[in-house]
């Protein structure tokens, strides 16, 4: 079953956050099968963002989490946050359409 990580954070430096994300994406190259990343911004509070990262499995998520590049990205991201990041780790139990 797939696995989703939700990352909630606030920043007053969104341009720097975008640049950091773009650099990480370029470094990683093509996304593995079953991986998807969605970044959202709160319409009522434009400093608040939620990133949804979908992995094909919990094991794939943990392998990604164990990469030194992921740890460095997380440290740099946290430095740009005014609040957070807060993580939610979710095992997908049902999905429609499948």
What pLDDT digit, counting tens, does each position of 15-53 carry?
Answer: 999 999 899 888 877 777 888 999 999 999 999 999 999
Which pLDDT belongs to residue 74?
92
**Region 50-79: what's the mean pLDDT?**
92
Supply the mean pLDDT for the chain.
91
What is the Cα–Cα distance from 77 to 74, expressed in whole angstroms? 5
Alpha-carbon span 36 to 39, nearest angstrom = 10
Mean pLDDT of 63-92: 93
pTM for the model: 0.86
Q: What is the largest CA-CA distance in the chain?
A: 38
Domains within the chain, CATH numbers bracketed = 3-91 (3.30.70.100)
pLDDT of residue 41: 96
Q: Which H or E run includes 40?
A: strand 36-41
Contact 55, 7 (CB under 8 A): no
């Amino acid at each position: 079953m797939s696995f989703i990580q939700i990352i909630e954070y606030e920043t007053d430096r969104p341009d720097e956050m975008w640049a950091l994300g773009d650099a990480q994406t370029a470094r990683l190259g093509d996304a593995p099968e079953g991986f998807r990343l969605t970044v959202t911004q709160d319409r009522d509070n434009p400093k608040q963002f939620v990133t949804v990262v979908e992995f094909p499995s919990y094991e794939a998520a943990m392998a990604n989490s164990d990469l030194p590049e992921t740890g460095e990205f997380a440290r740099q991201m946290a430095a740009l946050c005014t609040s957070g990041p807060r993580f939610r780790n979710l095992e997908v139990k049902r999905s429609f359409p499948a």
